[in-house]
Amino acid sequence: MDKLRAESGTLFAQEMALSAYLEGLLTPVTAELGPASAVPLPAPLPSVGKLPVEPTVRQETALKVVHPVRRDPAETVPTGLPIIDEPESLTPKVSDNVVPAWASDGFECLLFYVGGLKLAVPLVKLTRIVACGERITKTPGRAPWFMGIMRFDDHQAGVVDTAKLVFPRDRLSRRVEEMGNADSAEGYSRILMVEDGRWGLCCDRVDTVVSLSADAVRWRTEKTTRRWLAGTVTEQMCALLDVESLTGEIEARGKEP
């Protein structure tokens, strides 16, 4: 049953994507477009998948604190996912202050897996998906989670071992054990390019795209720890990435001695 629902969810999401695409193309334009609307010619790299990504809505502050929080141990969370800070109310009404601007009118997410942990990244933050076979140049003396740099479009992008960045120590050890003591970077198949392609997050596999409303997510209201976690997608029971906070943390950690 769950499998069936997952399958129909996949079909629905794909149909939605196609419908939106066709609707856009086939909507007559009344006003003539000016030269300013011309899009510069890109120089695409080979990729394994390209998703129709909306223009990124930049946010100065990803999420605002609206009221004190308490930990609710009764809350069901994705297996292996740390307990998420919850608002006081057990049935919180989604507040506009908490919901990022790009999510307010509904949004789409790509679900992907890292070491058995299901994560979601908003499509508006995703630039492209590329194969892990892309050449990654290792750079000595960097943090353990920094796998190296790779050429992406016309610039260099940093590639991140996502497991090392988001997993707690014990879970990371388990992953390494499960992989026959190989480095956690072994086995990654895809790189999710985010932040206009400046960073690549490695993952084991890409799943599907789901359409969500803002109240389908338990948004975190205070982020003193795990800043990369925007909230939990309740139906899919997975962690929603806060890409800006995550890359901010990567850059901050990168400056650590």
Partner 1 sequence: MNIVAVANQKGGVGKTTTTVSLGGLLAQAGERVLLLDLDPHGSLTSYFGFNPEGEGAGVYTLFQRRAQGEALNPGGVASLTGVDGLSLICASTAMATLDRQLGAREGMGLVVAESLAQLRAQYSWVLMDCPPMLGVLMVNALAACQHLLVPVQTEFLALKGLERMLRTVSMVQRSRTRALDVTLIPTLFDRRTRASIDTLRQLREDHTGMVWPGVIPVDTQFREASRAGQPLTTMRPSARGSKAYAQLLEWLLAETPLGGAIPLREVSRG
Residues that bind partner 1 (CB under 8 A): 15, 18-29, 32-35, 37-42, 44, 52
Q: Minimum Å distance from CB 14 to partner 1?
A: 10
Q: Which is nearer to partner 1, 18 or 83 (by Cβ)?
A: 18
Q: Minimum Å distance from CB 32 to partner 1?
A: 4
Q: Minimum Å distance from CB 42 to partner 1?
A: 6
Q: Which is nearer to partner 1, 40 or 180 (by Cβ)?
A: 40
Burial (CB count <10 Å: 0-12, 13-18, 19+), residue 183 = middle
Residue 118's beta-bridge partner residues?
113
Please tell me the distance from the alpha carbon of residue 142 to that of residue 68, in angstroms, as a whole number. Answer: 37
Q: Which is nearer to partner 1, 33 or 90 (by Cβ)?
A: 33
Please tell me the distance from the alpha carbon of residue 193 to that of residue 123, in angstroms, as a whole number. Answer: 11
Which are the contacts of 213, defined by CB distance < 8 A and separation ≥ 6? 106
Q: Minimum Å distance from CB 155 to partner 1?
A: 17
Q: Minimum Å distance from CB 165 to partner 1?
A: 30
> Three-state SS across 28-72?
CCCCCCCHHHCCCCCCCCCCCECCCCCCCCCCCCCCCCCCCEECC
Q: Minimum Å distance from CB 54 to partner 1?
A: 9
Please tell me the distance from the alpha carbon of residue 231 to that of residue 132, in angstroms, as a whole number. Answer: 27
Q: Which is nearer to partner 1, 22 or 83 (by Cβ)?
A: 22
Q: Which is nearer to partner 1, 35 or 257 (by Cβ)?
A: 35
Q: Which is nearer to partner 1, 122 or 231 (by Cβ)?
A: 122
What is the side-by-side strand order in the sheet with 199-203?
126-131, 190-194, 199-203, 155-160, 146-152
Q: Which of 144, 150, 82, 90 is nearest to 119 (CA)?
A: 82
